[in-house]
Structure 1
């Protein structure tokens, strides 16, 4: 069971970095630092969009409209942090003490 929790923690860490990369790439697009016409950059942007947009869409349903400011990546990162802390503080010790 500890192995399953470790895999979940690894998946959450990977998704954390995907969200960070998506936010940075969106800033690079906004300030015209990278060329969106480049096929390599476009393929990375497409992957990041498809990986993050389903979660962002769910978060945006509950977030107030703040104009041009999108706080859904921040909320997603806070949610991942919360899940990781629940796993570390409550689930790891419970599983370890149960001997599963």
Structure 2
């Protein structure tokens, strides 16, 4: 069980850094959006960000969905660990 929790913990950490990289890339308009790394970052994070965007009210020039995901990520991580420990 410890190995499973450790792997899931690492996956959450990796996703955190992938999301951070995507946010940083969005600040630089001259970055090639067709580069394979940029495409990977967008394809990896978009399934999580898109549902959050649907909840947020439209019309803002700033995309707050990454901020909300950053805030929710530790909560979801803790919830997943609690479930794993409950069924262990």
Scaled by the length of structure 1, what TM-score is found? 0.72
User: Measured at CA, do residues 83 and 64 of structure 1 come closer, stay the same or move farther in structure 2, by a change above 3 Å?
Assistant: same
CA RMSD between the two structures: 2.4
Please point out which of 43, 50, 54 is paired with 2:47. Answer: 54
Q: Secondary structure at the match of 1:69?
A: coil
User: Measured at CA, do residues 55 and 87 of structure 1 come closer, stay the same or move farther in structure 2, by a change above 3 Å?
Assistant: closer
Per the alignment, residue 14 of structure 1 pairs with 14
Q: Secondary structure at the match of 1:36?
A: coil
Larger RCO of the pair (alpha carbons < 8 Å, separation 6+): 1
> After superposition, what is the alpha-carbon deviation per residue over 1:18-40, rounded to whole angstroms, capped at 9, x for unaligned?
000000001012xx3xx427x7x
Scaled by the length of structure 2, what TM-score is found? 0.81
1:73 equivalent to 2:66? Answer: yes
Number of residue pairs matched by the alignment:
88
* Rg (Cα) greater in structure: 1
The answer for unaligned runs of 5 or more in structure 1 is: none
- In 1, distance between residues paired with 2:38 and 2:4? 30
Please point out which of 20, 30, 36 is paired with 2:32. Answer: 36
The answer for unaligned runs of 5 or more in structure 2 is: none
